[in-house]
């Protein structure tokens, strides 16, 4: 599981590496002093990767622009369609779809020494593109054993589920110029004191339906503004064929979910938020990928590797998903370009990185009750490939989009996660204070009101790393939707359905519930962190 060769190579060379502000970091936290060598080693690998990208890939700007030439693109001058894909394990590659009645081998690709395939579809005799906007398309790959398999282009910007199928197909997305959304409003500057409205577009309606980007833009944004929030955090945007995963089993990393509308409608939503001065953060899922084969990345080239570790390291068993091989060149290109794509094309203002604890440890944190002992963070149990990837991600964000905000969903308390890259940190602005909502659920479920200990509450609310900022919250989607129930449901029980109207009698249960609901939020807001998050519909 542990890449000992990489560890040993870096250990030989890192001793003399200079981490510009390491002294400042150790002064802030003297307990880090014994681990300076490991911090230097991580920083050395990060810098080595940057130098390689500079010398071999023309620098980070060119490297992260890959989404502009990988995948399926139209040449606006010639109307030829050019395809470029990485599939090192494939024997052959073709493209087919509605445009050629799904013929199998009409358009063969050529392969270079790096496993990159290229193909060209000439324009039609009338000069128009051979594939029309909105037509269904798929890549056809021949695997090493000669099997022909359909795959969706990993760089697809739009995918849809056919009416009579559960498997998505790629859609050639090339809307006419007058249908492409033009942004009208400037993005807000990076702000402190975030007040975050966490939202899921699909459930943002009182109707029994999957809601839309347009409904959110028209009806939900005014509510967010009225409630005094300054930031929206959108979950379940990256396409996921399994809706009940709430967006955390991503199948198509560059596609905005088509179940809510078109990419242009998502852009209009974000622009509307910017009109009102709101920051918009995307829930970014780079911690793992769906195991789906027919409409995901898994087995893309016919092998268990390609984008993922081809070993037990490549599986997250709790989530039944695949784990990226982060420092493989083409995987870095794909993921770092994905970061740039959402910031550049959709004007998102930053990310909440999902599942960071799972990324950082070979165990994915499973069965590991972190005690706070620093050896747990700086030993061989830590997956430093993932840490280095997070450093690279923040270098991209901070270099190209310096006003962006990043938040880590991280529960272990990894030191340096929210410290600058120059100190050897990962570069996050905030981490989620994930112990706080668990405290409230435990108290409401297991402890009588008269036995609540204010010292215990205060300790949990304030127990965070000095100089690393936290986002405080009483509940998020994790509590409200995933395996539990809302604080309101804990407080009101069945009376939430019968006694919450102004026309109903005010019972002791309701009186207690209203008081505690306000108190829990007030004390969390005051003591819990440097930013505040609330899941939609929770007050």
Catalytic residues: 354, 409
295, 139 Cβ separation under 8 angstroms: no
**Could you tell me which of 438, 460, 482 has the C-alpha nearest to residue 529?**
460
Spatial neighbors of 466 by CB under 8 A, at least 6 apart, are 28, 29
Terminal Cα distance for the chain, rounded: 44
Sign of CA dihedral 414, 416, 420, 425: negative
Identify the H or E element spanning 264: helix 263-275
**Could you tell me which of 237, 249, 236 has the C-alpha nearest to residue 322?**
249
411, 357 Cβ separation under 8 angstroms: yes
CA distances, 325 to each of 57, 65, 87, 144, 328 (Å): 19, 20, 15, 21, 6
Sign of CA dihedral 423, 424, 428, 430: negative
Scanning the structure block, which residue is given the tokens 């005010």? 506
Q: Which residues of 153-168 are buried (b: 16+ CB within 10 A; e: fewer)?
A: bbbbbbbbbeeeeeeb
25 backbone dihedrals φ, ψ, rounded to 5°: -60, -45
Spatial neighbors of 279 by CB under 8 A, at least 6 apart, are 188, 191, 194, 230, 231, 232, 273, 349, 350, 405
349, 189 Cβ separation under 8 angstroms: no
Q: Which residues pair with 472 in a beta bridge?
A: 532
Scanning the structure block, which residue is given the tokens 């911690």? 287
296, 290 Cβ separation under 8 angstroms: yes
198 backbone dihedrals φ, ψ, rounded to 5°: -80, 130
Instruction: To the nearest 10°, report the CA torsion of 428, 433, 438, 443.
Output: 180
Q: Report CA 350 to chain centroid distance, whole Å.
A: 10
Neighbours of 315 (CB within 10 A): 18
Q: Report CA 53 to chain centroid distance, whole Å.
A: 23
Rounded Cα gap, residues 239 and 216, in angstroms: 18
Token pair for 279:
């920051």
Three-state SS letters, 466-534: CCCEEEECCCCHHHHCCCCCCHHHHHHCCHHHHCCCCCCCCCHHHHHHHHHHHHHHHHHHHHCCCEEEE
């Amino acid at each position: 599981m542990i890449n000992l060769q990489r560890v040993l190579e870096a250990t030989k060379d890192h001793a003399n590496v200079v981490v510009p502000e390491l002294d400042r970091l150790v002064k802030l936290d003297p307990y880090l002093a014994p681990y300076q060598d490991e911090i230097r080693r991580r920083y050395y690998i990060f810098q080595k990767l940057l130098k390689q990208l500079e010398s071999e890939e023309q620098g980070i700007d060119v490297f992260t622009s890959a989404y502009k030439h990988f995948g399926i693109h139209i040449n606006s001058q010639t109307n030829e369609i050019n395809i470029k894909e990485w599939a090192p394990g494939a024997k052959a590659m073709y493209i087919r779809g509605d445009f050629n009645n799904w013929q199998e081998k009409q358009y063969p690709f050529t392969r270079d020494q790096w496993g990159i395939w290229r193909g060209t579809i000439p324009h039609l005799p009338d000069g128009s593109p051979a594939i029309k906007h909105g037509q269904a398309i798929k890549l056809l790959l021949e695997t090493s054993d000669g099997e022909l398999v359909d795959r969706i282009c990993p760089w697809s910007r739009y995918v849809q589920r056919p009416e009579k199928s559960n498997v998505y197909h790629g859609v050639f997305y090339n809307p006419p110029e007058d249908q492409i959304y033009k942004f009208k409003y400037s993005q807000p500057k990076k702000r402190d004191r975030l007040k975050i409205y966490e939202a899921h577009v699909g459930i943002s309606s009182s109707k029994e339906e999957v809601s839309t980007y347009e409904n959110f833009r028209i009806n939900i944004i005014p509510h967010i503004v009225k409630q005094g929030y300054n930031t929206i955090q959108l979950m379940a945007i990256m396409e996921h064929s399994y809706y009940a995963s709430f967006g955390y089993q991503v199948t198509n990393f560059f596609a905005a979910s088509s179940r809510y509308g078109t990419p242009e409608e998502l852009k209009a939503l974000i622009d509307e938020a910017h009109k009102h001065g709101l920051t918009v953060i995307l829930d970014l899922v780079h911690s793992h990928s769906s195991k789906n084969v027919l409409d995901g990345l898994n087995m893309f080239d016919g092998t268990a590797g390609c984008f993922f570790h081809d070993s037990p390291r490549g599986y997250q068993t709790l989530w039944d998903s695949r784990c990226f091989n982060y420092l493989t060149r083409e995987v870095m290109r794909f993921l770092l370009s994905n970061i740039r794509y959402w910031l550049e094309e959709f004007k998102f203002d930053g990310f909440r990185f999902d599942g960071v604890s799972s990324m950082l440890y070979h165990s994915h944190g499973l069965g590991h009750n972190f005690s706070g002992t620093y050896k747990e963070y700086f030993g061989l149990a830590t997956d430093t490939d993932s840490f280095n990837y997070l450093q690279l991600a923040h270098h991209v964000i901070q270099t190209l989009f310096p006003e962006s905000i990043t938040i880590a969903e991280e529960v272990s308390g990894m030191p340096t996660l929210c410290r600058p890259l120059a100190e050897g940190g990962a570069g996050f602005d905030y981490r989620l204070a994930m112990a706080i909502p668990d405290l409230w659920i435990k108290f409401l479920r297991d402890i009588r009101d008269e036995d609540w200990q204010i010292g215990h509450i205060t300790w949990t609310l304030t127990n965070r790393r000095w100089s690393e900022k936290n986002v405080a919250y009483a509940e998020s989607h994790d509590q409200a939707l995933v395996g539990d129930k809302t604080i309101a449901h804990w407080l009101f029980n069945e009376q939430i359905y019968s006694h919450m109207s102004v026309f109903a009698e005010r019972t002791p249960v309701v009186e207690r519930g209203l008081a505690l609901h306000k108190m829990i939020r007030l004390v969390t807001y005051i003591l819990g962190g440097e930013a505040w998050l609330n899941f939609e519909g929770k007050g």
